Amino acid sequence: MSARDGDHLVTPFQCDLCVFRNLIGRNPGARDNLLMACIRQANLDALWGREAATVSSTLRAARETVKLLNVVEVPPPFPALGPHPVQDTSGVSIAIAMLLKSLQPGRYESYQQYETIRKLRAGFTNIFHSSLLGTGSLRSMGGDKVKMSFSNECLTRSVWFERFARGCLSRMGQIVRQDRALSLEVLHQLLENLEQEWASSDAATRGQVASLGAFCLIAFCGSFRGPEMFLVDLFGLHKYGREDLKTSGGKTYVIVPLLGRFKNELGDQYHLTPMVAESSSELKIRVWIRRLLDASAAEGRTRGPAFVAPRKEHPYVWYEREILERLHGIQQNWPDLIPEDVQVLEEYGLSRSFRRGATSEARARGIDRDDIDLTNRWRTFEGAKGKRPRMAMRDHYSDIRLLIPALIRFSEGL
């Protein structure tokens, strides 16, 4: 009465009462209204996981097959659609957990988004593959070089659950809110404010201000995502940050080294990012990096992450809070830079505001697309997952030395 004719022919189906008995082992009572509602919704999502045209064409084909075979008195070969075992064989319990989680308040709406609730499925799948049953049933199809697929008995890999997930996503939709791009004008005002803070700060807080200024400039001019900034290596920054590096054409530049695991690649290796010492719009990259180096040296730090948080706070949380608070102050004092209707704490973010702003400004300023792609080239190389040999920092520097004039054009044009 609630789905389409023929839905049961393309998706494994059991009625709400049968599903309840499979899960609980008894008939539903007055206190089970929420569970019965979840079962109905899960069933409908699974049935609507297939397109209406697919359902109707399957139903027509089945009817025509039966009609034709009746002419020659051949029994239809369709297999039985039931009965099913009295247990959860399709992962309905995980689907119900996802639906219940969707009822919780979300960040942007009164409900949780699909991208959030689907993590329950991923969690169950990971645990199953680590279990005795999972490891015993998990088999790969293919040879040593190519793994085509896996055969397993995981409930969340069942045909019914695949249909449910697809139908649930179609019903809920997705709300995607990207971080607002940080404009070059806002960045200049942010750095001007930090410059005033740095000049008026004492030795105890000057290091934090220098760290924020260097963070903003490296993230923007390097087109980095927020989490990538915490791979900046302090030892490598000391090694190259004190040198007056120049190209053959006389342009001064700095080297920002990132140390860590990139895109699941095994082992540690450096990625070196050259940036111009001062951009065309007078972003003083080298000045702020050297201030960071002086502050870290005064604290006795010469190794480890370049960007750390005070008072044992989480670095990502601390930097995002400090930067967004200053952006909120810019909005209050310079509404022409950030309009009053912008929710700064909601729309800006450490994750992608700097990267999106840098890419947008580069395009607006006519920087060649090849130079933009070259600046971001490391995400492809570092995603090679071990297929490219790991190199020491000095070898990596020698490897990119000839590319430096091209690599610094991105930051130079900002």
- DSSP characters over 202-228: -HHHHHHHHHHHHHHHHHHHTT--TGG
Residue whose structure tokens are 């054409």: 249
The architecture (CATH level 2) of 184-412 comes to Orthogonal Bundle (1.10)
**93 has a pLDDT exceeding 80:** yes
Q: What is the pLDDT of residue 314?
A: 86
Question: Of the given ranges (144-148, 219-223, 317-321), which has the lowest mean pLDDT?
Answer: 144-148
Instruction: Give me the pLDDT at residue 268, please.
Output: 41
Lowest mean pLDDT among 121-130, 172-181, 381-390: 381-390
CA separation (Å) from 40 to 49, 92, 150, 166?
A: 14, 11, 30, 16
Residue 386 falls in which region: left (phi positive, over 0), alpha (psi -120 to 50) or beta: left
Q: How confident is the model at residue 103 (pLDDT cuts 50, 70, 90)?
A: very high
**Residue 153 pLDDT grade (very low, low, confident, very high; cuts 50, 70, 90):** confident
Nearest in space to 306 (alpha carbons), one of 297, 245, 206, 390:
297
pLDDT at residue 115 above 90?
Answer: no
Q: What is the mean pLDDT of residues 118-126?
A: 92
pLDDT at position 400: 64
Q: Using the 8-state DSSP alphabet, how is residue 156 labeled?
A: G
Q: What pLDDT does 120 receive?
A: 93
Position with higher pLDDT, 331 vs 109: 331
Residue 37: band (very low, low, confident or very high) from pLDDT cuts 50, 70, 90: very high
Q: Average pLDDT of 243-262? A: 75
DSSP for 265-282, please give it: -SS-EEEEEEEESB-TT-
What pLDDT, on a 0 to 100 scale, did the predictor assign at position 108? 67
Share the mean pLDDT of the chain.
82
Q: Which of 47-56, 141-150, 296-305 has the lowest mean pLDDT?
A: 141-150
Q: Band of the pLDDT at 299, cuts 50, 70, 90?
A: confident
Max avg pLDDT among 36-45, 206-215, 395-404: 36-45
Q: What is the pLDDT of residue 261?
A: 43
pLDDT of 203 higher than 90: no
pLDDT (0 to 100) of residue 160: 92
**C-alpha to C-alpha distance for 150 and 137, rounded to whole angstroms:** 9
Residue bearing tokens 């989490």:
227
Residues 173-197 have a mean pLDDT of 84
For the ranges 14-28, 42-56, 333-347, the lowest mean pLDDT is seen at 333-347
- Cα atoms in the Cβ-side hemisphere of radius 13 Å centred on 212: 27
Residue type present at position 285: I
SS3 of 232, please? Answer: strand
Confidence of residue 124 (pLDDT cuts 50, 70, 90): very high
- List, for residues 266-297, the tens digit of each pLDDT value: 334 567 788 888 888 888 988 889 898 888 88
Given this model, what pLDDT does residue 201 score? Answer: 82
CA dist 156 and 146 (Å) reads 24
Percentage of the chain exceeding pLDDT 70: 85
User: Does pLDDT of 56 surpass 70?
Assistant: yes
Band the pLDDT of 177: cuts 50, 70, 90: low
Residue 264 has pLDDT above 90, yes or no: no
> Which of 148-162, 303-317, 338-352 is the least confident region?
148-162
Mean pLDDT of 240-263: 73
Q: What is the per-residue pLDDT for 382?
A: 44
Q: pLDDT of 359-410, one tens digit each?
A: 888 888 888 787 777 676 544 444 444 444 444 444 445 456 677 777 788 8
Range(s) of the chain covered by CATH 1.10.443: 184-412
pLDDT (0 to 100) of residue 388: 46
Residue 92 confidence (pLDDT) above 90: yes
Return the DSSP state at 305: B
